[in-house]
Structure 1
Amino acid sequence: MSTSRGNTSRKRPQKHQNRTVFKNDLHDTSQKTKFLNSMEVKGVCKRCKDILEWKIKFKKYKPLSAARKCVGCEQKTVKYAYHLLCDNCATEKGVCAKCCKPFHEEVLEELSEDKNLHQKLTGLPERKRRSILRYIEKHQDGSSTTQVNVMAHIEDVLAGMRQLDCVSESDSDSGAT
């Protein structure tokens, strides 16, 4: 049996192969399904948006019948299922309405009009990128001097990484001979 203890690999393919793509409005043409298909998911981070779109696509999304209480303002203003914050509280705090985590990517894109900063950050390791994002959030006040300071900080980090790369390359060259 596939659930028996210690049996971690299957010997056969899955029994029912999907021949066609699932369509949530194939047999159901109700107003609820039409509304869900036309609904635009907004005010949430990318991960939560993907989760909610998946729920809508595979008919797992259960809409609210009545408004829920917002965690932030304690009012019954949450209109969408799976959300913890209302739209006003989420935009005011700058967090995702579903998971309540801050928008790192949006802060980054607002801070840099040019894509140069974004390209530099995508080339960095995760640890360095997160430290720079923390630096951006800490020193964010919307002025152009902040952007210059952030760019200078990134250049310092990149210069330090280049020095480390040069040192490690020279060590590996000397160790090989």
Structure 2
Amino acid sequence: MSCTKGNTNRTRAQKHQNKTAFKNNLHDTSKKTKILNSLEVTGVCTRCKEIIEWKIKFKKYKPLAAPRKCIGCEQKTVKYAYHVLCTSCAADKKVCAKCNKDINSIQEEIEQNGDTNEIKLKSMLKSLPERKRRTLLRIWKKQDESTSDDKLLQIEDLLSKLDNSTDDDFCGSLSSSEQSLSENEIE
């Protein structure tokens, strides 16, 4: 990147790319690593769960040496790192043990941001090659009149067909699916 003020866009690709994924137990086969890998994160919201799982995955998780003080009951009952509430207080108050937010309000925020199925589909579309992505988007726009449940099922079927087919029979499989979509529109 240039040192000019406000230039935040990189024009080149990443210089050093990882050839293999990071494995936290590749060189370390200690009991601590095995315990951390088998640790199941519960009692927290989805965002906090992803954060803690990331820390475990990349060996950034630091377990507690001694229990910490709970901010709810003021006792030394917090046994998990990065938590501020003990499991009993979090369950009683129905809040996340890490960020102390109401679990119901977090689920409502997710619903307000958009349907989770559509978010998953959009993330899958980003990983597809350009040709397949445009074809699916064209079919998706044709299906706008149909119900959302039918649309999701049909798109998942199309994605499975795309994964199983090669580039040669790609056009043939989609043309049959486009015909079935046009038949649905006629009915």
TM-score, L = length of structure 2: 0.54
Pairwise CA distance, 1:5: 2.5
* Counterpart-to-counterpart distance in 1, 2:8 and 2:105: 39
Pairwise CA distance, 1:40: 0.6
Indicate the SS of the match to 1:25.
Answer: coil
Q: Report the residue type matching 1:90 in the other structure.
A: A
The alpha-carbon distance between structure 1 residues 3 and 24, as it changes in their structure 2 partners (threshold 3 A), is farther
Q: Report the residue type matching 1:63 in the other structure.
A: P
Q: Aligned residue for 1:94?
A: 94
Alignment of 1:55-70 (within 5 A): 55-70=55-70
Pairwise CA distance, 1:7: 2.5
Alignment of 1:7-156 (within 5 A): 7-104=7-104, 126=112
% identity of equivalent residues? 67
* Counterpart-to-counterpart distance in 1, 2:40 and 2:9: 41
* Counterpart-to-counterpart distance in 1, 2:97 and 2:68: 13
Moved over 4 A (4+): 1-4, 105-108
Structure 1 gap ranges (5+): 109-120, 128-177
Q: Report the residue type matching 2:23 in the other structure.
A: K
Indicate the SS of the match to 1:66.
Answer: coil
Q: Aligned residue for 2:133?
A: none
* Counterpart-to-counterpart distance in 2, 1:7 and 1:107: 37
Pairwise CA distance, 1:30: 1.0
Indicate the SS of the match to 2:44.
Answer: coil
Q: Aligned residue for 1:163?
A: none
* Counterpart-to-counterpart distance in 2, 1:54 and 1:15: 24
* Counterpart-to-counterpart distance in 2, 1:9 and 1:107: 34
* Counterpart-to-counterpart distance in 2, 1:77 and 1:36: 20
Structure 2 gap ranges (5+): 114-187
* Counterpart-to-counterpart distance in 2, 1:2 and 1:33: 41
Pairwise CA distance, 1:3: 4.7
Indicate the SS of the match to 1:77.
Answer: coil
* Counterpart-to-counterpart distance in 2, 1:74 and 1:18: 45
Q: Report the residue type matching 1:33 in the other structure.
A: T
TM-score, L = length of structure 1: 0.57
RMSD (CA atoms): 2.5
Pairwise CA distance, 1:12: 2.1
The alpha-carbon distance between structure 1 residues 2 and 95, as it changes in their structure 2 partners (threshold 3 A), is same
